[in-house]
Amino acid sequence: MMRKLITMITMCLLLVGCEEEGKLSTFPSTDLELSDSNEVESLRDENRALKEEMRTLRHEIDSLQEELRQLTQEFTYIDQHLRDVTLLEGITFEMISNRTMNHPNETVVLVHQAADHLKEPIVRKAAIIFADPVYEKVSLWTDRERAMTYMKGEYDPNETHTGWPGFDSLIGYIDNAATPPTLTLYLSRDDHMLLRFGKYQVVE
């Protein structure tokens, strides 16, 4: 009886062992799970890196497009003004004096046939003609009498609250001695603007 009981217990233990072994065989191995997990994480890292690289490339493309836009705008600006200067006809420049009473290194220039709507291209053309540093300072006038009065210093700069009326005939001023050189367009005696043209820069 005891032997029969032992035999039955042994058989039961064997069945249980086989059943447990079968259960274990239905689960993937731990090594396989770890391998799959590492591969997924690696792919995620690679995806994040690619996204970051794409963001960087987009930023560089945007910067290049903005730079191209600015260069195109500058080229159009220069091209237009060069066209205006080269199309000027009948404009002549007469040097009245290479010094003034108040500025010994200033050249006084009379501009002939200078219409108001041509002031800016005339001043730019003068900047080409008098770009040599030997002309330290150049004032551009449209009226001979006022230019002569300025040259002799026979005027009152405070004659009115906006200055000497003769300055209405001053249309431009070239300063090759400045750092950097400057080119000024005079719209009236109390209104002017700096022009950017070649070596002449607008200092912010």
Which residue range(s) make up the domain with 57? 41-87
Residue at which a domain ends, from 87, 109, 143: 87
pLDDT at 13: 47
Q: 6-10, 43-47, 78-82: which has the highest mean pLDDT?
A: 43-47
pLDDT at 27: 45
More confident residue, 199 or 60: 199
Which one, of 161, 165, 168, 200, lies nearest residue 187 by Cα? 168
pLDDT at 173: 97
Judge whether 69 lies within some domain.
yes
| CA separation for the pair 48, 43 (Å, rounded) | 9
Lowest mean pLDDT among 80-94, 149-163, 180-194: 80-94
The answer on pLDDT for 109 being more than 60 is yes
**Shared-domain flag, residues 183 and 99:** yes
Per-residue model confidence as pLDDT tens digits over 11-68:
544 444 544 444 444 445 555 565 667 787 788 888 888 888 888 888 888 888 888 7
Judge whether 17 lies within some domain.
no
Q: Among residues of the chain, what percentage have pLDDT more than 70? A: 76
The residue count of the chain comes to: 204
The answer on pLDDT for 103 being more than 80 is yes
**Shared-domain flag, residues 129 and 181:** yes
More confident residue, 120 or 90: 120
Residue at which a domain ends, from 53, 87, 121: 87
**Shared-domain flag, residues 132 and 185:** yes
Model pTM above 0.85: no
Q: Among residues of the chain, what percentage have pLDDT more than 90? A: 42
Which one, of 95, 90, 100, 120, lies nearest residue 110 by Cα? 95
More confident residue, 148 or 30: 148
Mean pLDDT of the chain, nearest integer: 81
